Amino acid sequence: MELKKSSHGVYKTEYHIAYITKYRRRILNPGLQAYLRKVFPKVIRAMPGVELVKLGMETDHLHMVAVIPPKYAVSDVIGKLKGETASLLRTKFPWLKQVYWKENLVWSPGFFVSSVGVDEKEIIKYVSWQGRQDLGQIKIRF
């Protein structure tokens, strides 16, 4: 991933995000997965600057890699993704109302998130060069 620019900063904020279906039910069949692949980009477009890099699914959970600009709280973006996709899924697939008959949801309340950063060796190399005099600026690629 290359560096992104905002009006007052430069950033590289990429995250690995995972969350599971409520009660870990195996509802993400091939048809539902295909629908999610179609609607995720539409839901993400409502949040300028957020990008979906990769989306992967199993029958009871999903993983994604997403770029989330620093102006957004990661947990807020995840909450919006879960809320919007749950609503769309329940509308498109009425049988989900029988699976989750007591609650108007699809996803479990928790999530996993981890930043996807540059290589640790590159950071150590970059930091070690700080304060050293050299011939021009060093070009370190992230």
CATH number for position 71: 3.30.70.1290
Is 134 within the bounds of a domain? no
Is 129 within the bounds of a domain? no
Is 77 within the bounds of a domain? yes
Give, as one character, the DSSP assignment of residue 57: E
> In the chain, which residues have pLDDT < 50?
none
On whether the pTM is more than 0.95, the answer is no
Cβ pair 115, 15 in contact under 8 A: yes
Separation of alpha carbons 124 and 140, rounded Å:
11
The chain-wide mean pLDDT, for the chain, equals: 87
Tell me the pLDDT tens digit for each residue of 91-112. 999 999 999 988 888 999 999 9
Overall domain count for the chain: 1
Separation of alpha carbons 18 and 45, rounded Å:
19
Strand order in the sheet with 61-67: 51-57, 61-67, 14-20, 112-116
Is 138 within the bounds of a domain? no
Domain ranges, residue 57: 4-117
Is 52 within the bounds of a domain? yes
In the numeric block, which tokens belong to residue 71?
């102006």
Give the model's pLDDT for residue 124. Answer: 64
